[in-house]
A and B are shown apart, each in its own frame.
Chain A
Amino acid sequence: MADGHIILQDLRKSFGPKHVLNGVSLSVPKGHSLVVIGGSGTGKSVMLKCVLGILRADSGSIRIGGEEVVGLKGAARDDYLSRFGMLFQGSALFDSIPVWENVAFGLIQGRNMARAQARDIAIEKLSQVGLTAEVAKLYPAELSGGMQKRVGLARAIAADPEIIFFDEPTTGLDPIMADIINKLIVDCVKRLGATTISITHDMASARKIADDIAMIHKGEIIWQGPAKTIDYSDNPYVDQFIHGRGTGPIQMEVLKA
Chain B
Amino acid sequence: MNPFQPIGRAVLALLAEIGRVSLFLKDAIVQGLTPTFYGRQILEQMWRIGYNSLPVVGLTAFFTGGALALQIYQGSTPGTASTLVPNIVALGITRELGPVLGGLMVAGRVGASIAAELGTMRVTEQIDALVTLSTNAFKYLVGPRLIAAVVTLPILVAIGDTIGIMGGYIVGTRSLGMNSYAYIKTTADFLHLDDVTSGLIKTAVFGLIIAIMGCYHGFNSKGGAQGVGRATTNAVVSASILILAANFALTNLLFTE
Contacts from A to B (Cβ < 8 Å): 49, 52-54, 78, 81-82, 84-86, 88-90, 92-95, 105-106, 109-111, 155
Contact = CB atoms under 8 A, between A and B. Distances in A.
A44 to B, nearest CB: 14
Interface residues of B, number: 14
A81 B140 contact: no
Given A90-B124, A92-B124, A110 B129 contact: no
B126 interface: yes
A89 B128 CA distance: 12
A46 B107 CA distance: 35
Interface stretch (B12-20, B60-68, B130-138): B130-138
Contacts of B135: 105-106, 109-110
Residue among A89, A92, A93, A94 with max Cβ neighbours from chain B (10 Å): A92
Given A109-B38, A109-B140, A54 B128 contact: yes
A105 B125 CA distance: 15
A44 B110 CA distance: 37
A18 B140 CA distance: 32
Contacts of B128: 49, 52, 54, 88, 92
A110 B133 contact: yes
B26 to A, nearest CB: 15
Contact of B129 (A53, A78, A88, A111): A88
A49 B128 CA distance: 9
A247 B135 CA distance: 45
Contacts of A88: 125, 128-129
Contacts of A93: 126, 129
B125 A81 contact: no
Nearest to A78: B134
A85 B132 contact: yes
A88 B121 CA distance: 13
Interface in B93-133: 121, 124-126, 128-129, 131-133
Contact of A106 (B121, B126, B134, B136): B134
Nearest to A107: B133
Nearest to B132: A86
Given A105-B135, A109-B133, 16 more contacts: A52-B132, A54-B131, A54-B132, A78-B134, A78-B136, A81-B133, A82-B134, A85-B132, A86-B132, A88-B128, A94-B126, A109-B134, A109-B140, A110-B135, A111-B134, A155-B133
Contacts of A84: 132
6 contacts: A82-B134, A88-B129, A92-B129, A95-B126, A110-B135, A111-B134
A125 to B, nearest CB: 14
A84 B129 CA distance: 11
A110 B134 contact: yes
A197 B198 CA distance: 57
B134 A81 contact: yes
A53 B131 contact: yes
Nearest to A110: B134
A114 to B, nearest CB: 14
Return the 7 tightest CB-CB contacts between A and B, nearest first. A110-B134, A106-B133, A92-B129, A92-B125, A86-B132, A109-B135, A88-B125
Contacts of A105: 133, 135
A110 B137 CA distance: 11
A238 to B, nearest CB: 28
A1 B134 CA distance: 28
A90 B126 CA distance: 9
A95 B129 CA distance: 12
B129 A94 contact: yes
A92 B38 contact: no
Contacts of A111: 134
A104 to B, nearest CB: 10
Nearest to B128: A54
B125 A90 contact: yes
Contacts of B136: 78
Given A90-B124, A92-B124, A109-B38, A52 B131 contact: yes
A95 B140 CA distance: 15
B115 to A, nearest CB: 16
B145 to A, nearest CB: 13
* Most chain B beta-carbon neighbours within 10 Å: one of A53, A90, A111: A90
A70 to B, nearest CB: 16
B125 A89 contact: yes
A82 B38 CA distance: 19
A121 to B, nearest CB: 14
B126 A92 contact: yes
Nearest to A89: B125
A109 to B, nearest CB: 5
A98 to B, nearest CB: 14
B126 A81 contact: no
